[in-house]
Amino acid sequence: MTETIISSLTKEVRIGFEQPFVVIGERINPTGRKILANEMKHGDFSRVEADALAQVAAGAHMLDVNAGIPLADEPAILARAIKLVQSVTDVPLSIDSSIVAALEAGLAVYQGKALVNSVTGEDEQLERVLPLVAKHGAAVVAISNDETGISEDPNVRFEVARKIVERAADHGIASNDVVVDPLVMPIGAVGSAGKQVMHLLRRLREELQVNTTCGASNVSFGLPNRNGVNSAFLTMAIAAGMTSAISNPLHAEVMQAVHAADVIMGNDPNCANWISKYRESAPADAERGRRKRRRRPAG
Amino acid sequence: MTETIISSLTKEVRIGFEQPFVVIGERINPTGRKILANEMKHGDFSRVEADALAQVAAGAHMLDVNAGIPLADEPAILARAIKLVQSVTDVPLSIDSSIVAALEAGLAVYQGKALVNSVTGEDEQLERVLPLVAKHGAAVVAISNDETGISEDPNVRFEVARKIVERAADHGIASNDVVVDPLVMPIGAVGSAGKQVMHLLRRLREELQVNTTCGASNVSFGLPNRNGVNSAFLTMAIAAGMTSAISNPLHAEVMQAVHAADVIMGNDPNCANWISKYRESAPADAERGRRKRRRRPAG
Q: What angle do CA A133, A137, A140 make, to 5 degrees?
A: 45
Interface of A with B in 179-218 (CB under 8 A): 187-188, 191-195, 198
Instruction: Tell me if ipTM is over 0.95.
Output: no
**Which pLDDT score is estimated for A295?**
36
Superfamily per CATH, domain B3-270: Dihydropteroate synthase-like (3.20.20.20)
Determine, for residues B232 and A188 on separate chains, whether the beta-carbon distance falls below 8 Å.
no
Any idea where the domains of chain B sit in the sequence? 3-270
Q: Which amino acid, B37?
A: A
Q: Which residues of A178-209 are buried (b: 16+ CB within 10 A; e: fewer)?
A: bbbbbbbbebbeebebbbbbbbbbbbbbeebe
Q: Identify the closest residue of chain B to A277 by CA–CA distance.
A: B224
* Spans of chain B, pLDDT less than 50: 283-299
Out of B228, B239, B240, name the one closest to residue A260 (CB): B228
* Mean pLDDT of all residues belonging to chain A: 93
pLDDT digits 0-9 by tens, A23-64: 999 999 999 999 999 999 999 999 999 999 999 999 999 999
CB of B272 within 8 Å of a chain A CB? The answer is no
CB of A272 within 8 Å of a chain B CB? The answer is no
pTM: 0.92
pLDDT digits 0-9 by tens, B45-101: 999 999 999 999 999 999 999 999 999 999 999 999 999 999 999 999 999 999 999
pLDDT digits 0-9 by tens, A107-162: 999 999 999 999 999 999 999 999 999 999 999 999 999 898 888 888 999 999 99
3-state per-residue secondary structure call for chain B: CCEEEEECCCCEEEEECCCCCEEEEEEECCCCCHHHHHHHHCCCCHHHHHHHHHHHHCCCCEEEEECCCCCCCHHHHHHHHHHHHHHHCCCCEEEECCCHHHHHHHHHHCCCECEEEEECCCHHHHHHHHHHHHHHCCEEEEECCECCECCCCHHHHHHHHHHHHHHHHHCCCCHHHEEEECCCCCCCCCCCHHHHHHHHHHHHHHHHCCEECCEHHHHHCCCCCHHHHHHHHHHHHHHCCCCEEEECCCCHHHHHHHHHHHHHCCCCHHHHHHHHHHCCCCCCCHHHHHHHHHHHHHC
